[in-house]
Amino acid sequence: MDGGGIVHSNASNSTSSGEVKCLTEAQMQMHGSEFERYLQRYLFLGLVLFGIFGNSLNLTVLLNPKMQSRANTFLAMLAFADIVFLSLLMPNVLANYSLFSSVALFRLLYFNAKVHLRSIANWASAVAIWCVIAVCTDRLIGIRNPLFARGYVPRRKMVLLMGFILTVPALLTAHQHFSHECLVRFFCNGTQIQSICLPVTQEQWLPNKPNPYSLSFRRFISVSTLINTVISVIFPIILLTVLNFLLLCALRRRKRELDNIGSKQIKPSKSTSSEGFSQQIVHSKTEQRVTWTVTLIVSMFTLTNGPSAVVNLIEGFAIAPPAEPKTWYNLTLIAR
């Protein structure tokens, strides 16, 4: 989803001879390729609806007062972030249906808002990544130090941590509101609307004009994009991989401890009641199941976001794409 500030112009509405110029149906399409059209219509729509519904169900459980914990607080933030992200994808999906793409008002609103939708969606995605990191870190510390898992964290500290997770990604993705310039053109006596978006860092402008943005601004956008790619995508994926490995190691160690307790059938001492000992075993097994669940979530999150990290790495460091433009465009759709 590309976009930028909107520049309205009727310059292309007619030719030099005064003849009214109208676009063909193919030229009015809002998708970048036929592959994107099929993905948006038949895959992304289902994923968006399923994701919003599933995260809404998760929130009904995670927001239950009886389920309050540090991990569940971060999981609730993750669910909210996913809902925001998926909701912001809907206009892009709807743009591939003629019921919406044929409406001039929808096209104008979409062209005017898509750069901001993209920026906010990337912010929500970054928030989701750091929420997963927070959950994974909490479980890792908890399984290594059970007292920490049962400890109470002051509300003020939780609010500050949540605010940090929300604010930093917002600052890192803010430049995306200005990273593209979208030119909107009216054709066929103003009855047809089409748009093209250009990166402000691009040297060649349309039509064959120099880039109107200053060199310092273009450098700022380039550096901001690189920093965001490293901090919001590449580093979190590496960190999640390391945390997940440490979680798996901790789980294996905990499993051996539980197996030893079961095989030796240790009897509780006089100072420890049989009921209390049994509750301790049950609690340990519950912690084990919860940690396995978190590990599964982190593993799937890492696998699904890994390709996106590769794409952002290539684009962020201006590496030449390993395929022709059209093929690369389709690959980025799958990766992201």
Distances (CA, A) of 132 to 139, 243, 306: 11, 10, 14
Average pLDDT over residues 124-151: 81
Q: What percent of the chain has pLDDT over 70?
A: 70
Instruction: Check residues 147 and 81 and name the one with the higher pLDDT.
Output: 81
pLDDT of 66 > 70? The answer is yes
Angle between helices 70-94 and 155-173 (to 10 degrees): 30
Residue 324 — pLDDT band, cuts 50, 70, 90?
low
pLDDT at residue 136, as a whole number: 85
Is the pTM higher than 0.75?
Answer: yes
pLDDT at residue 224, as a whole number: 93
Residue 28 — pLDDT band, cuts 50, 70, 90?
confident
Average pLDDT over residues 84-111: 93
How far is residue 335's CA from residue 325's CA, in Å, rounded to a whole number?
15
User: pLDDT digit string (tens) for 227-243?
Assistant: 998 898 889 888 988 88
Of the candidate ranges 41-50, 60-69, 206-215, 298-307, the one whose mean pLDDT is the lowest: 298-307
CB proximity list for 146: less than 8 A, separation 6 or greater: 287
Q: Across the chain, what does the average pLDDT equal? A: 79
Average pLDDT over residues 172-198: 90
pLDDT of 16 > 60? The answer is no
Average pLDDT over residues 59-81: 89
Torsion angle of alpha carbons 225, 88, 197, 201, nearest 10°?
A: -10
pLDDT of 212 > 50? The answer is yes
Domains of the chain (ranges plus CATH)? 5-227+326-335 (1.20.1070.10)
pLDDT at residue 296, as a whole number: 74
Average pLDDT over residues 40-50: 91
pLDDT at residue 291, as a whole number: 65
pLDDT of 188 > 60? The answer is yes
How far is residue 131's CA from residue 73's CA, in Å, rounded to a whole number?
9
pLDDT of 265 > 60? The answer is no
Residue 290 — pLDDT band, cuts 50, 70, 90?
low
DSSP annotation of 177 reads: G
How far is residue 16's CA from residue 7's CA, in Å, rounded to a whole number?
21
How far is residue 308's CA from residue 240's CA, in Å, rounded to a whole number?
14
Residue 170 — pLDDT band, cuts 50, 70, 90?
very high
pLDDT at residue 12, as a whole number: 46
Residue 244 — pLDDT band, cuts 50, 70, 90?
confident
**What is the maximum span of the chain, computed from C-alpha positions, in angstroms?**
102
How many other CB atoms are found less than 10 A from the CB of residue 288? 17
Instruction: Check residues 192 and 312 and name the one with the higher pLDDT.
Output: 192
How many other CB atoms are found less than 10 A from the CB of residue 210? 8
Nearest to 70 by CA among 172, 158, 132, 171: 158
How far is residue 180's CA from residue 100's CA, in Å, rounded to a whole number?
24
